[in-house]
Structure 1
């Protein structure tokens, strides 16, 4: 990948993308960042070896891809300041969950190559999941460039703009739910007298094995796969039944399906 990438507003999500891109092999000389304070810029430039600036217009100079990672309240002011300096073929990628593609197009009416992206924290370790939605006027070659960039640190799923909202609870927070479950299982093991270090090793293996099984049995009903592991009348199915009685599955379903 030869594109120059500028991340404007390099806070937590911006740094996640930065780390994923650097670890994914993007040359540090191809990346520039901006942040709200010199202290933050100095921290990021020293840690990652990229060019940084507190001035967004300077940070995005010569960029082929501009990634908007600022908080929602700051986006209007940012776009007003940088719009005149955006090159015609530059791709604008918004990580701002509150802004749809149509809203973004309204804010920068003279620019057509726009993308909405929703990455997750797995990008830090090369297992990111990014939902990508493309504006109507973006070219095929530009789509390929964006897919290549986000593929540096994980998997991409192309979705319609209106699917972003419905898919976000799982794509963005799914790791949190799995960590929550993992913490509960380790705590339960601690009550049985098993050290947390050993339980963590057990869970790392269990999670890796679960991922491998899901991949191997792609297309198989998850309930069928689950119950194929539990013998009738055995302790496993009894423990699953106990979780069902206590509404654990329903709680996870509600966590994903309900708007909060």
Structure 2
């Protein structure tokens, strides 16, 4: 029904959301309001997509059915102070701010209908995956609207437990960085053997893409697929032996756990309350 959607923070992920909203025809361009401090950025988005740019957050949310918080974690508290008490009672707030809990958002905005989501980088081309959860006061209709928006970014998984979003931050949110590092290492190895870098990039990119698509189509456990391409005494067996000997699996597991612990640490800082000032006397 063409909901009015306000985006607070029109950065790269914010633009990806705009593209998804329009490509999935969730609403019309004139019902998308993008609010940010840089006038030129707003005008750029208006020229590209026909949305309504604003620099006043309070003005931007006045008629909103959905308010999407897409600001950087470092400025979230400042933005919430400006918006507190101004979001319409019937509106849904959807936050993609990493580490910001539902409680922090609810208290900071004086609003109860909150969806917290953790998308990842491929969402910028509609191929991401988002883990999300909702506060108890979110209505079924609002849940469906949130699902439509997140589906516009790729796949989505709803979780009852909010703690699972910190896990998702370490696994899927940070996951593209692991994949890119793996790609980089494979490409460099190809260049070391003598391939031109462009050729090595093509070989690695298509190998990874094809492997993932093959796995999705066949639908069996990755260990079985690995066994299928590992002949006794062959090249794959030799390569895998060195990877295991070097602790590849353990290093990756430890890296993900470290990212999870860091996510918890950042969340504590973001969600902590300032100490109460004590009066004199």
- What TM-score results when the alignment is normalised by the length of structure 1? 0.90
Equivalence for 1:149: 149
Question: Residues of 2 paired with 1:59 and 1:35: CA distance?
Answer: 10
Task: Give secondary structure in 1 for the equivalent of 2:174.
Answer: helix
Verify: 1:80 aligned to 2:56, yes or no: no
The offset of 1:23, in angstroms, is 4.3
Contact 1:227 1:237 survives alignment (8 Å) = no
Flag the 1:179–1:22 CA change in 2: closer, same or farther, 3 A. Answer: farther
Contact 2:29 2:50 in 1 (8 A): yes
Structure 1 residue 198 displacement after superposition: 2.0
Does residue 10 (structure 1) correspond to residue 28 (structure 2)? The answer is: no
Give me the whole-angstrom Cα distance separating, in 2, the residues matched to 1:221 and 1:19.
34
Q: Take 1:124 and 1:194, find their aligned partners in 2: how far apart are those partners?
A: 31
What is aligned with 2:193?
192
Residue correspondence of structure 1 range 1-260 to structure 2 within 5 A:
2-26=2-26, 27-109=28-110, 111-159=111-159, 160-218=161-219, 220-258=220-258, 259-260=261-262
* Aligned Cα root-mean-square deviation (Å): 2.0
Aligned pair count?
A: 258
SS for the counterpart of 1:85 is coil
SS at match of 2:137: coil
Deviations 1:72-120 (A, max 9, x none): 34333323332333222110011122221122222334x3211001111
CA drift at 1:28:
2.3
Does the CA contact (< 8 Å) of 1:6 and 1:63 recur in 2? yes
Native 8 Å contact 1:24 1:153 kept in 2: no
Q: How far does residue 24 in structure 1 lie from its aligned partner after superposition?
A: 4.2
Q: 1:108 to 1:58 in 2, by over 3 A?
A: closer
User: Is the 8 Å Cα contact of residues 85 and 109 (structure 2) preserved in structure 1?
Assistant: no
Give 3-state SS (helix, strand or coil) of 2:93's partner.
Answer: strand
Distance 2:39 2:8 in 1: 14
How does the TM-score come out when normalised to structure 2?
0.84
CA contact (8 A) 1:4 1:65 kept: yes
Secondary structure of the residue aligned to 2:242 is helix
1:95 and 1:116 in contact (8 A); partners too: yes
Shift of residue 155, structure 1, vs aligned partner: 0.4
User: How far did residue 205 of structure 1 move?
Assistant: 2.1
CA contact 2:87–2:109 (8 Å) conserved in 1:
no
CA distance in 1, matches of 2:29, 2:237: 51
